[in-house]
Amino acid sequence: MKRIKMGCTTLSIPAMALGIMRMNQKSVLEAQVAIQAAYDAGINFIDSADIYGGGKSEEIFGQAFSQMQIKREEMFIQSKTGIVPGKRYDFSKEHILHSVDEILERMQLDYLDSLVLHRPDALMDPEEVAEAFDQLQAAGKVRFFGVSNFDTAQFKLLQSCLSQRLMFNQLQFSLKHTGMIDFGMHMNMVDKPSVDRDSQFLDYARLHKVTVQAWSPFQYGMFEGTFIDNDGFPKLNQELQKLADKYEVGKNAIAAAWILRHPANIQMLVGSMNPQHIRDSAKGAKIRLTRQEWYDLYLAAGNYLP
């Protein structure tokens, strides 16, 4: 498995992480098979969130992982907090501290390697978040911190009050969600792709050594479905198959290789619980697409160049 530097540190993490959003749909044994498949492929990074399956995903993970032979220190385990389902976003100190305690209990852990704030809270008080982070770190409950779906200004605002460096920002990025790179190639134009919806965060991340974690790497829309083997995207799947045949892998691996080819050292979150899909996706970390192959996929996905 390809390894990348984590944020501004010298620590290395795998270029892929296993997202356990759908683990609530699996038995403990099935969860163990998925975790083991990822681990065997070099993916020793777990990404979770307190809202996944209403907390059940973390419960299943905790039960499964506690019975496995993998040592805790061999895994990097991350969870997210800040969403109160159907009600609000909540970055209050009280909510953050309480959520972490519940996460640790569900996952049967003594500490998290990383805590990520899930979606921007309009009522965020950066100084209050800083107090929560300091308390969690001092108590040994969380080692590192990050955010998810933050724009550049939001990221800078929070960072300005923290004693810790933010390591991550989780952002949607895939062959069918390319906004972060579209606007740069359509600079000084008035067409739709020229609109910067992400405040140039990818460039900011490269300048300030922040690890971007790409979520929904095989999805189109927002959880509308996968574009892999989807009849609605014939040209893209034809190009994926062509390269899959060349590199002797599956389409998932090629779609993953496309993300990892970007020089920003992006970490991709694999959300599948299917061991075969996990193994095939992991193969993408070993493939370095040529520039032409990367652009051929970009164009096959429905994008165009000015």
Active centre residues (catalytic): 52
Q: Side-chain half-sphere of 183: how many Cα atoms within 13 Å?
A: 12
Closest CA to 36 of 74, 5, 4, 3: 74
Query: How far is the C-alpha of 54 from the C-alpha of 59, rounded, in Å?
Result: 10
Closest CA to 241 of 251, 226, 256: 251
Helix (H, G, I), strand (E, B) or coil at 225: strand
Residue with tokens 């991340």: 205
For 140, the token pair is 């040994």
Q: Which residues contact 229 (CB under 8 A, 6 or more apart)?
A: 237, 251
Beta carbons of 242 and 253 less than 8 angstroms apart: no
Query: How far is the C-alpha of 85 from the C-alpha of 94, rounded, in Å?
Result: 17
Beta carbons of 92 and 83 less than 8 angstroms apart: no
